[in-house]
Amino acid sequence: MKKRVIYSAIQPSGMMTLGNYIGAVSNWRDIQADGANDCIFALADLHTITVRQDPEKLRRNSVSFLALLLAAGIDPKRSVLYVQSHVHEHAELCWLLNCYTYVGEMNRMTQFKDKSAKHSDNINMGLMDYPVLMAADILLYKSDQVPVGVDQMQHIEIARDIAERFNNIYGETFVVPEGRLTKTGAKIMSLQDPTSKMSKSDPNPNGVISVLDSADDIARKIKRSVTDSGSEIVFDPENKPGVSNLLTILASAEGKTVEEEVKAFEGKMYGHLKVACAEAVVEMLRPFREKYDAYMGDEAGLLAVAADGREKAQAIAAKTLADVKRKIGLLV
């Protein structure tokens, strides 16, 4: 049987947050372990530059994120792991797909509106075109499923629309992808504003946990996290977002369901939940941090992984791009 192609990417900017790790990267590891999947994972550095970056810091972050992904269990012998900018087919297909995407569709994209508000001094075309580049990322590899957070599902829908539009004009070319959400930990919220997603751009540093934070910093941030009125520990994201967020983090760290955690904390106080959550996160990240430090001690090895991933990714991407070019009448 043909394996499912699973594609996902992460931006090598700033830090890898606990939300990134639980909601995305640890999910990648589990998907990789399923023998029914062919996995392709990328560092989306072309997406990163829609916001101004310090060049040297971006280079360092890219190396660091390769180490982070390897430490999290992404195995380059079982999955394709590469850097987006190393495969020029991404940018080429993005331009071609732009010609099959409507301005009105881009104007409606929620993330463009949000990022434009945050970066009003740099509302560039790359920011608006982000979803088309993301569509190119996905469609190049004939991806069946794309693991994403709930905030990215709109981008999956536009990728589907573009693929179907192209297929309707030129015949079967692209696989129409599906978004794949994780049930637990799909969206980790800020510890200081549990109505907002945990983000590396959080203005309050106490609201976000980096996977490279020390054990003391993790414990401090969780113990200072915002909870809710009342004292009952229940999962109710609308009325008790703070407690619900801690339950989600704890369940993800311990590999349990939220329902199991709620039952375990019957009759206990918020303080008990915070202590347990802090301990669970520290223990979950301890072996991860040790592996990360080891990988960072071998930068040449990390660059070799990226070079090998580029070859594997480009072998697939080049075939798709050539097919698209032929179908629209370009000389190939």
**Cα separation, 6 vs 141, whole angstroms:** 9
Q: Distance of alpha carbon 329 from its chain centroid, rounded?
A: 35
The closest of 238, 228, 229, 243 to 273, measured between CA atoms, is 243
φ/ψ bin of 51: left (φ > 0), alpha (ψ from -120 to 50), beta (otherwise): beta
Contact between residue 84 and residue 48 where contact means Cβ atoms under 8 Å apart? no
CA trace torsion 241, 244, 249, 251 (10° rounding): -170
Give the contacts of 154 (CB within 8 A, at least 6 positions apart): 109, 110, 111, 131
C-alpha–C-alpha distance, residues 39 and 131, integer Å = 21
Note whether 269 and 231 are within 8 A (CB).
yes
Distances, alpha carbon 131 to alpha carbons 128, 154, 156, 217, in Å: 7, 9, 8, 35
Provide CATH code, domain 4-181+299-328: 3.40.50.620
Tell me the longest C-alpha to C-alpha distance in the chain: 71
**For residues 44 and 135, what is the distance between their CA atoms, to the nearest angstrom?**
12
| CA–CA dist 247, 283 (Å, integer) | 16
pTM: 0.88
Closest by CA position to 97, among listed 129, 130, 136, 61: 136
Q: Rounded to an integer, what distance in angstroms lies between the CA atom of residue 154 and that of residue 197? A: 16
**pLDDT value at residue 13:** 86
Give the start-to-end residue ranges of the domains of the chain.
4-181+299-328, 205-293
Confidence (pLDDT) at 182: 64
CATH code reported for the domain at 205-293? 1.10.240.10
Listed residue (15, 309, 5, 11) closest to 134, CA to CA:
11
Determine the pLDDT at residue 184.
56
pLDDT of residue 183: 58
**What was the pLDDT predicted at 152?**
81
**Per-residue pLDDT of the chain in tens (332 residues, 90 and over written 9):** 789 999 999 999 878 999 989 888 888 998 999 889 999 999 999 999 988 899 999 999 999 999 999 999 999 999 999 999 999 999 999 999 999 999 888 888 877 777 777 767 778 888 889 999 999 999 999 999 998 877 788 899 999 999 999 999 999 999 999 998 765 556 899 999 999 989 888 889 999 999 999 999 999 999 999 999 989 999 999 999 999 999 999 999 999 999 999 999 999 999 999 999 999 999 999 999 999 999 999 999 999 999 999 999 999 999 999 999 999 999 98
Counted residue by residue, the chain has a size of 332
Active site residues: 115, 197, 200
Bridge partners (DSSP) listed for residue 147:
180
Task: Please report the pLDDT score of residue 266 as a whole number.
Answer: 93
Q: What are the φ and ψ backbone dihedral angles of 231, each rounded to 5 degrees?
A: -135, -5
Same fold, 4-181+299-328 and 205-293: no
